[in-house]
Amino acid sequence: MAQSRTTSPEADEQASPEPAARPRLSTFHFLRPGPGTTAALVLAVLAAAALPLAAPHLTRRFVDDAIAGAATAHLLTLAAGYLALVLTGQAARLATVWVASRLAWDGTNNLRERLAEHALRLDMDYHGAHTPGEMIERVDGDVTAVADFAVAFIVDVVVGALLLAGVLAVVFTLDVRLGAALLVYCLLLGFAMMRVQRLATPSAAEAREQSAAVIGGLEEHLTMAEDIRANGAGAHVVNRFHRASAGWFRADYRASTVGSALIAGTSVAFAAGTALMLALAAWGRVSGVLTVGTAVLLFQYMLMVRTPFERLIDQLRQYQGALAGMARAGALLAEPRTLPPPADPRPLPGSGPLSLHLDGVGFAYPDDGARVLAGVTITLKPGETLGLVGRTGSGKTTIARLILRLYDPTAGAVRVGGIDLRDTDPASLRRRVGVVTQDVQLFAADVRDNLTLFRPGTDDSRLREILGEVGLGEWLAALPNGLDTRVDHVSAGEAQLLAFARAFLADPGLVVLDEASSRLDPATERHIERCVDRLLTGRTGVLIAHRLTSLSRVDKIAVVSDGAIVEYGYRRDLAADPGSRFSRMLELAGAGR
Ligand SMILES: Nc1ncnc2c1ncn2[C@@H]1O[C@H](COP(=O)(O)OP(=O)(O)OP(=O)(O)O)[C@@H](O)[C@H]1O
């Protein structure tokens, strides 16, 4: 059945040839900030680390001066200063979050665009093996994880590490022994946390894999909703969804259990650390090394150390996820095209009909490797048309895919305009070879963009003229905003006619036409037949015919059976030969010759 679906706009597929593979490190290039942003970020980070470090010094003075009997006004000034420092520290922290978020989103948006573009350029082999949902998770989910991590890394890890270093430096200047004790404690804690962290790595990666599987399945089910409902396959689909969700839950549960255990462990370690610091401060006080104010400062610092450490452990957990996301994004970017771009691309002749020559073509789809075509040889002079007939599954669509270079043949060669498609400039191939399939894809965009495929520069009057020619003149007149109307719902017939209008606009020199196998209303049928006639006039054409009557308009016939051409010749000769298969087909169908 002819279908029309709306999808989001697609990039101009072959605009520039793609290098075969990229190193994964290039993934990180997208996160590199500009000089202005870097300067703003460095300032914000330094302020966010230094201000909280300064605040406890005022507390120390407050306590010591209060014990020494200072005036209330002086103490109030210290308290107000403390408050101002805390507030400015928070503001600096907010500024850091803001700058870091902008930076992370700018960088990851670049990466997301690059991934989406690359995914669109990948060959049919790749798309056949990966569901759209999986691609969405790769392009969106993984990149979002990276963006979230980048923000948290700057805010929690960088600021936290600076704060920690500052605390150590201050404690060292107060008393070397206390500083050394704090340093040893921090190193031991850090080392233990890094070791334990490794436990969390596989579970985080597993959780993301499972979520990709669930979203991939969901996307597939939503796309097929109509068929699923019509065939009563709902229960089976829900069952599959349930199993996938259960897998995701288990993986996520494992990941969070490990994470919670780690956080609980750190709490205990910090309680011990605080107790140790308090004991040392008490000793310092008793032995006259420290004032009470300094003991309070040490206590405050110990509390301050806790947050960066905890955030650090949390970030290390997210870091695994972000690293996994980065690795998957890198793997997608490194995914090579199975259709290698030509080393020395040759453009097709810029105008006029193109010759077509399939020379001993053999083919097997990469996923199962079973032979689909063997020894297919077809020759069309410029302007000649060919009808492909054969039972379902015989290989007609596969031949069409090879002519459009959606795949490369595994044996033999496909030549258009005398040039092997493997040596043809991809942009010129897309411009000069057109296709009208049964499965018409319409974008969620206006009529103009759907016809021009987002290429600006075509006159509206030309678009109207073409729509009129394909029989959509009245349809256009009835649209509320004419060419600016968004294409949401069109009938199967209208979708087919729009596809013809696209083809007329592109004016290809070779056209592949997959005739709609379903019956449309007689008026639309007539329009479509006229379109087929017009499209095949003055162009080289390959028509996958589902109706024998359609073959009256072609010059040559190729009968395909089990991946081979079992009969091939001029239509008139075959029809005139009572022993030919084509002749028998015509007789069986009761169609005129
Ligand atoms: N993407 C694919 N991956 C693997 N095998 C495929 C793929 N597409 C088609 N095939 C197989 O290749 C063979 C030929 O299919 P093809 O679609 O070319 O036949 P067809 O003659 O166009 O059929 P129809 O008239 O039903 O459209 C079939 O056995 C089919 O199962």
Domains of the chain by start residue, with CATH? 33-334 (1.20.1560.10), 356-442+490-589 (3.40.50.300)
Tell me the pLDDT tens digit for each residue of 94-110.
998 888 888 877 777 88
Lowest mean per-residue pLDDT among 196-205, 321-330, 511-520: 196-205
Supply the residue whose CA is at minimum distance from atom 24 of ligand 1.
392
**Cβ 203 under 6 angstroms from ligand 1:** no
> pLDDT category, 266, cuts 50, 70, 90?
confident
> What is residue 317's predicted lDDT score, i.e. its pLDDT?
64
Q: How far apart are the first and last CA of the chain?
A: 27
Please tell me the predicted confidence (pLDDT) of residue 163: 87
Q: 452: CA distance to ligand 1 center in Å?
A: 30
Residue 424: CB within 6 Å of ligand 1? no
**390 CB near ligand 1 (under 6 Å):** yes
Where does the pLDDT of residue 20 fall: very low under 50, low under 70, confident under 90, or very high at 90 and above? very low
Ligand 1 pocket test: which of 3, 127, 358, 365 has the largest number of ligand atoms within 8 Å of its C-beta? 365
What is the position in ligand 1's atom list of the atom closest to the CA of 395?
18
d(CA 145, CA 384): 54
| pLDDT tens digit sequence for 117-129 | 888 878 777 777 7
Residue 552 has pLDDT above 70, yes or no: yes
In tens, the pLDDT along 334-380 reads 877 777 888 889 998 888 899 999 999 999 987 777 889 999 999 99
Identity of residue 37: T
Ligand 1 atom 14, closest CA:
395
- Ligand 1 pocket check for 481: Cβ under 6 Å: no
Say which amino acid occupies 172.
F
In the predicted structure, residue 6 carries a pLDDT above the cut 70: no
Q: Return the pLDDT at 62.
A: 93
Q: Whose CA is nearest to atom 26 of ligand 1?
A: 392
Tell me, what's the ipTM? Answer: 0.96
> Which residue's CA lies nearest to atom 4 of ligand 1?
365
Q: Is the CB of 128 under 6 A from ligand 1?
A: yes
Q: Residue 29 — very low, low, confident or very high, per pLDDT cuts 50/70/90? A: low
> CA torsion, points 412, 417, 419, 423, in degrees to nearest 10?
-110
Q: Work out the average pLDDT over 550-564.
A: 90
CA of 568 to the centre of ligand 1 (A): 20
- Alpha helix stretches (DSSP H) within 287-395: 292-334
> What is the phi/psi pair of residue 536, to 5°?
-85, -10
Query: What is the rounded average pLDDT for all residues in the chain?
Result: 82
Name the pLDDT band for 152 (thresholds 50, 70, 90): confident
Instruction: Tell me the best of 396, 406, 514 to mutate to test the pocket of ligand 1, counting ligand atoms within 8 Å of each CB and taking the most.
Output: 396
Does this model's pTM top 0.90?
Answer: no
CB 437 less than 6 A from any atom of ligand 1: no
From residue 342, give the alpha-carbon distance in Å to each of 426, 427, 508: 8, 12, 21
The least confident of 72-76, 83-87, 118-122, 341-345 is 118-122
Q: Are strands 3-7 and 439-443 parallel, antiparallel or unpaired?
A: parallel
Cβ of 400 below 6 Å from ligand 1? no
Helix (H, G, I), strand (E, B) or coil at 113: helix
- pLDDT > 70: percent of the chain: 91
